[in-house]
Structure 1
């Protein structure tokens, strides 16, 4: 498993095919199944990753296409993380190998990132229509939901790892 440095000094091992987003990814094709997600180009994820405490991991297929992307932040910060907050998770329908990429990316966060950082809780800001999917993966609603003008009802969910 390749080592990845998060922030300035935190080393995490990621499975083959998973890595941090790079500037060279910004020109790659990425099409989400969700129409609203189609407005988010890879450049958006890359720019977001350059902000403090934000991390973006991609799943790259053997042919070099990005099959999935997850963006998350470390709370309260990258130096003293207590929890991970997943803000966006998407798979690329332009990549034949994208089936299961979202699930695989969540497992990488749970099994590799959270474990390496000794984080015991992962939160997900999920659109309401995906609540049952995240329930099936062990995430439970926290009751701290909110309304987003683009995404409508956002359900905050949490899982102990």
Structure 2
């Protein structure tokens, strides 16, 4: 699959800027998702055993944030090489640590939802709601996985400039 960097002069000339912009969009999208999801998560933890109603506006916000995250991630994968800003083992460790924390939060979120709702398996919500919520959860988890993978790639590139 040809790289846009090789075929479009502007991207080749401004690859580092394009990479930084796409990584920034991904980071802002993850921050937005955490900002939306954290109150839901806190409510679930604070009110264990009670059914939680998630507003449709929150589900739409999660969907929107996830679409932006995925679009910027896959655009980066498809067209822009990783452009490390420096070479430093310390910075590489910090970025790798951030990547793992991001995915750890996703795992904790999923575990809380799964184990919180496991006892309710006998009284499931209507099929449409269940599918929408399930898809939303999987989309957020996959988005966090993609972002943590992106940070891991950056960490490897910062550690060794020859890794792209």
- TM-score bucket (shorter structure): under 0.3
TM (norm. structure 2) is 0.26
Structure with greater helix share of residues: 2
TM (norm. structure 1) is 0.26
Bigger RCO (CA 8 Å, 6+ sep): 2
Q: Which has the larger radius of gyration?
A: 2
Structure with greater strand share of residues: 1
